[in-house]
A and B are shown apart, each in its own frame.
Chain A
Amino acid sequence: MSWSGRKYAVSDTVFFAGAMLGLCCGAAQAAPLNYLLGHGDKAYPVVALTWGVLLIAVAVIAIISLLVAGAIWRRPGIGMQAPGTRLELSGAEGGALWIWIGVGVSSLVLLASVVWTMRVLADVTSPSKRAALTIEVTGRQWWWQVRYLSDDPARIFATANEIHIPTGVPVKFKLIGGDVIHSFWVPALSGKTDTIPGQTNETWMEAAKPGTYHGQCTEYCGVEHAHMGLLVVAQPSAQFRAWYEHQLQSPDPVGGQQAAGQVDFNVHCGSCHAVRGTDAAGVLGPDLSHLMTRKTIAAATLANTPENLTRWISDPQGVKPGALMQRPELSDSELAGIRTYLQTLK
């Protein structure tokens, strides 16, 4: 390859990498689970490293492809010959230099990548500031149980599938395997950590700015693995405080028509679901005490709208085939009553 050819190869590579970069950034913004854009002290060094190794990878592919193409087409090749044709052979020496240089450069890049990897690892292993709070997350088929821990037992509460955190401070997570192995993942804030039965794993994250971040179970865990999402809502400290204090309260007592719905709820749903301050105290399914403050239902599968609530309660197996929530035997009026009651759980 001539020198000008080599220059083209370099500019092609840069152009290709730039195009990839633009394409990926554009696509990433439209993909809520992407991990090419991060938002927080734990995410930033990892995002930089991800882009770094990604660009190294793209550059290596481009260089090797050009070398292979150059090696093939640097002189006219030979077409297929009749079987048994004895074409001239070459025994030219000198190929060893390719291996020395190629492997030498590769080794340097690989070593540099190891060093960078270790530095990022040191940065993200634990937060540099004290964690603001500790949240316990239990992976269950196919939803996330969330408990906000506190030294004061009266200030512990449970919720599900939606985690609120304050912005600008690290938050610690204790991860528990409730049945099979799941993996807890909120790509914009932190990489994955498995929830494994029999052991407690830990991770942390920090959101630099307010927002709703998507998460998803990423260890195959059974038939509804696909529908095991979660949301992390990062809020400025004051808003978070308000949310937190509200979650600690039991929901307001209900009366009238809604009381009938509550009775039906307790009969049909209360052995799995809990609503604090009522007879519904089940532990198998999500705590529903402040259901209406959540953006989604069924582990981030459906938006939390009245229509979707009806759909989910009346036909859970239609929404999540194989889910452990069974279709309850409800008349239309009972269903409407339960839904009306649930809508009071603000």
Chain B
Amino acid sequence: MTIAEYERAPAVASADQQGLAPRLLRIWKTEPGIAGWLSTTDHKEIGLRYIVTAFAFLIAGGVEALIFRLQLAGPNLHLLTPEQYDQLFTTHGMTMIFLYAGPVLSGFSNYLWPLILGARDMALPRLNALSYWIYLCSGIFLYAAFACGFGPNDGWFNYVPYAARAYNGGPNIDFYALGIILLGISTTVGSINFVVTFLRLRAPGMSINRIPILAWGTVTASAANIFAIPAVSLAFFLLWMDRNFGTHFFDVPAGGQPLLWQHLFWMFGHPWVYAIVLPAMGMVSDGLPVFCRRPLVGYTAVALGTVATMVLGFGVWVHHMFATGLPNVSLSFFSAASIIIAVPSAVAVFAWIATIWNGRPVFTTAFLFFASFIVLFTIGGVSGFMTGSLPVDWQLTDTYFVVAHIHYVLIGINVFPVVGAIYFWFPKFTGRMLDERLGHWNFWTMFIGFNLGFFPMHISGLLGMPRRVYTYADGMGWDWLNLITTFGSFVFAVGILLLIVNVVASMRRGAPAGPNPWDAPTLEWSVSSPPPPYNFAVIPTVGSRHPLWEGRVPPQEGDSKSYVEGGMVLDHGRETVGTSPLDAEPGIILKMPQDSFAPVLLSLALTAFFAGLGLHIWWLAIAGLVGAGLDIFGWLWPERSLGETAEPANV
């Protein structure tokens, strides 16, 4: 292994060259059995695990919601005690925000990125595995506490002083704090991986103006996470110190500041909202045009709008704090920014409408989800616009209007695109089509159930119903609205159930999909379904935004021909090509690591560390920390096959 190995002129061949596929399979295949399952670094395997795990949490969070919707179905009901209600609504929020909405998009991006970018894996495959295992461990960690009756009970944004030990004496908040810090490690390493992959692993020729919008959405969200996650991890760490070691960061009698928590939390929280919708918007921007039989209108504007939303998204966090008594002059800036941030979203909305208008829709289930999303996105957007107006928000905030808003954002802009994306990419994942007849039932049940359940929340909010109340008196004007909401939420749940039925049934019995069932334009559809472990037998070369539609749609200025049938072979071990950040000029052959147990072991060690801290079992914490140190030591030990050992002096 020498430097020359990275800079050698790679062999070029046709993708169906005799013997190439079996050779690559031998190089890239994960060992069968439990050992392979624990050590794999295949981004497709990791991506699917992310999606399945996130859906498991979606179901858990959904069941929690159904239980407390029964409690709220009528006034003065006593199905749940206040403490049970508080743990349920908090765990519901924590689950949906932290354990479903972000990770499910990481799952799609993990699976799809190397395929749409034309690479053989993510830039840092072991980090990718680590990111998944820590996510799984933190989810189990948080749910173990919940199962033992120590779920968080202070709302997902966990305001102090109610979260301080003086008012919340149990271990509930400690587990919440530690679980979220642990999850933050997962999100951070995952985000770094996306950014590096975006900058360096795009196929030769996939210049910055040819990247699918999904990748723009995810990289924007990831870059934001790298800046946003430290704020929330710090906040939870300081709180944990206050609660366990008597520090005074938030301790009012000793001069601590409750608003410090709110600033730190929302500096994370608001960018996070965009991080869990921008990749989903990207899915629609890439998926919708396929079913309109034309390229996306306004590609450049949509890509720039994605980035602009995120940049502005860092300047609006105080709109969650309009009622905290900050001076009106400073609040007014945040109010104006919160209204103006709708402009880049308007770009996307009109681009999608224009795409449908100027195309010819194909009424697939995926199309129904993507097209209806535009309306749900608009509803969630305009209710956000209303809350951006400071004097109006003094009324709206902390009422059910905000609950309606957040659900139109999270379900409308995350769940609907995600389910559409399942219908769109399931054939790629499994090689089989989802059933379309059941799909239409699935869509209409979800769409009607969702609007029936969540639209009335706007009205109960305008009629003054405060959020986070475990019950309400009669005579407040909210009875019927709540009954409808509860009914609608159960209809929506039936819709999700139909999706699961469809997925399970179609995995076995679905019609065979072939490589490109939708006649879609991007690189993932050029390989078999499901794709082989090495993704591409030869590295594709990209000459336009839609390599598989070339010759069928008018070319853009500067377009050239894409090659997917022939290209660089790269079969000296696990290899892919590294390209330059802007123009994607190939520059180096990247050596990819073998499967490894280091990520799963590191996750277990870190979980033991955090469990030790939470349970005050100090030997366990120390053992976890030592284990993690040893694991990282082994992980970073130079490997000859990766060229990490010293070069011979004579080279």
Q: By the criterion CB–CB under 8 Å, are A72 and B259 in contact?
A: no
Q: By the criterion CB–CB under 8 Å, are A50 and B353 in contact?
A: no
Q: Which residues of B contact A77 (CB under 8 A)?
A: 360-363
CB of A284 within 8 Å of the partner chain: no
Contact with B along A148-176 (1 / 0, CB 8 A): 00000000000000000000000000010
Q: By the criterion CB–CB under 8 Å, are B462 and A68 in contact?
A: no
Q: By the criterion CB–CB under 8 Å, are A95 and B390 in contact?
A: no
Q: Which residues of A contact B466 (CB under 8 A)?
A: 33, 216-218, 225-226
Q: By the criterion CB–CB under 8 Å, are A322 and B82 in contact?
A: yes
How far, in whole Å, are A111 and B339 apart by their CA atoms in the complex? 8
Q: By the criterion CB–CB under 8 Å, are A125 and B357 in contact?
A: no
Q: By the criterion CB–CB under 8 Å, are A110 and B385 in contact?
A: yes
Which of A24-32, A248-256, A334-342 is the contact stretch? A24-32
Q: By the criterion CB–CB under 8 Å, are B391 and A45 in contact?
A: yes
For the complex formed, measure the closest distance between the CB of A337 and the CB atoms of chain B, giving whole angstroms: 30
Q: Which residues of A contact B409 (CB under 8 A)?
A: none
CB of A238 within 8 Å of the partner chain: no
How far, in whole Å, are A93 and B296 apart by their CA atoms in the complex? 11
**A95, A118, A202: most-surrounded residue (chain B CB, <10 A):** A95
How far, in whole Å, are A113 and B335 apart by their CA atoms in the complex? 10
CB of B325 within 8 Å of the partner chain: yes
Q: Which residues of A contact B325 (CB under 8 A)?
A: 175, 193-194, 196, 199, 201-202
Which of B34-42, B483-491, B549-557 is the contact stretch? B549-557
Q: By the criterion CB–CB under 8 Å, are B386 and A54 in contact?
A: yes
CB of A57 within 8 Å of the partner chain: yes
Q: Which residues of B contact A194 (CB under 8 A)?
A: 323-325
Query: Could you say which of B257, B339, B378, B468 contacts A198, with CB atoms under 8 Å apart?
Result: B257
How far, in whole Å, are A221 and B154 apart by their CA atoms in the complex? 8
Q: By the criterion CB–CB under 8 Å, are B463 and A50 in contact?
A: no
How far, in whole Å, are A92 and B161 apart by their CA atoms in the complex? 59
Which of A83-91, A239-247, A258-266, A274-282 is the contact stretch? A83-91
Q: By the criterion CB–CB under 8 Å, are B398 and A118 in contact?
A: no
How far, in whole Å, are A102 and B364 apart by their CA atoms in the complex? 27
How far, in whole Å, are A121 and B328 apart by their CA atoms in the complex? 8
How far, in whole Å, are A105 and B325 apart by their CA atoms in the complex? 34
Q: By the criterion CB–CB under 8 Å, are A103 and B347 in contact?
A: yes
CB of B459 within 8 Å of the partner chain: yes
Residue of A nearest to B325 (CB): A201
Query: Could you say which of A53, A68, A120, A187 contacts B464, with CB atoms under 8 Å apart?
Result: A187
Q: By the criterion CB–CB under 8 Å, are A78 and B361 in contact?
A: yes
How far, in whole Å, are A202 and B328 apart by their CA atoms in the complex? 12
User: Contacts A91-B294, A181-B258, A223-B82: A99 and B391 contacting too (C-beta < 8 A)?
Assistant: no
Q: Which residues of B contact A125 (CB under 8 A)?
A: 328
CB of B469 within 8 Å of the partner chain: yes
Q: By the criterion CB–CB under 8 Å, are A32 and B350 in contact?
A: no
How far, in whole Å, are A236 and B19 apart by their CA atoms in the complex? 95
For the complex formed, measure the closest distance between the CB of A273 and the CB atoms of chain B, giving whole angstroms: 22
User: Contacts A84-B516, A191-B394: A90 and B358 contacting too (C-beta < 8 A)?
Assistant: yes
Q: Which residues of B contact A121 (CB under 8 A)?
A: 328, 332, 335, 390-391
Q: Which residues of A contact B427 (CB under 8 A)?
A: 83
CB of A220 within 8 Å of the partner chain: yes
How far, in whole Å, are A83 and B371 apart by their CA atoms in the complex? 21
How far, in whole Å, are A222 and B364 apart by their CA atoms in the complex? 47
Q: By the criterion CB–CB under 8 Å, are B358 and A92 in contact?
A: yes
How far, in whole Å, are A257 and B478 apart by their CA atoms in the complex? 45
Q: By the criterion CB–CB under 8 Å, are B355 and A27 in contact?
A: no
Query: Could you say which of A98, A191, A198 contacts B350, with CB atoms under 8 Å apart?
Result: A98
For the complex formed, measure the closest distance between the CB of A311 and the CB atoms of chain B, giving whole angstroms: 14
Q: By the criterion CB–CB under 8 Å, are B252 and A220 in contact?
A: no
Query: Could you say which of A30, A71, A87 contacts B353, with CB atoms under 8 Å apart?
Result: A71
Q: By the criterion CB–CB under 8 Å, are A53 and B386 in contact?
A: yes
CB of B519 within 8 Å of the partner chain: yes
For the complex formed, measure the closest distance between the CB of B472 and the CB atoms of chain A, giving whole angstroms: 7
How far, in whole Å, are A99 and B375 apart by their CA atoms in the complex? 17
CB of A231 within 8 Å of the partner chain: no
Query: Could you say which of A53, A65, A84, A321 contacts B517, with CB atoms under 8 Å apart?
Result: A84
Q: By the criterion CB–CB under 8 Å, are B159 and A181 in contact?
A: yes
Q: By the criterion CB–CB under 8 Å, are A64 and B519 in contact?
A: no
Q: Which residues of B contact A80 (CB under 8 A)?
A: 362-364, 436
Q: By the criterion CB–CB under 8 Å, are B463 and A34 in contact?
A: yes
Residue of B nearest to A229 (CB): B473
CB of B356 within 8 Å of the partner chain: yes
Query: Could you say which of B323, B343, B472, B549 contacts A110, with CB atoms under 8 Å apart?
Result: B343
How far, in whole Å, are A70 and B375 apart by their CA atoms in the complex? 13
Q: By the criterion CB–CB under 8 Å, are B385 and A223 in contact?
A: no
Contact with A along B366-399 (1 / 0, CB 8 A): 0000010011001100110110011111110111
Query: Could you say which of A36, A91, A214, A220 contacts B462, with CB atoms under 8 Å apart?
Result: A36
How far, in whole Å, are A25 and B186 apart by their CA atoms in the complex? 49
Q: By the criterion CB–CB under 8 Å, are B324 and A103 in contact?
A: no
Can you show 19 pairs from A to B with CB atoms below 8 A apart?
A: A28-B462, A31-B477, A33-B463, A54-B386, A68-B374, A71-B356, A74-B357, A83-B511, A87-B362, A89-B293, A95-B355, A110-B385, A117-B335, A117-B389, A196-B259, A199-B325, A220-B154, A220-B467, A226-B472
The 3 A-B pairs of least Cβ separation, nearest first, read A191-B394, A33-B464, A31-B477
Known: A79-B362, A101-B350, A218-B398. 10 other contacts (CB 8 A): A65-B378, A83-B427, A89-B293, A89-B294, A90-B359, A96-B301, A110-B339, A116-B389, A117-B332, A321-B81
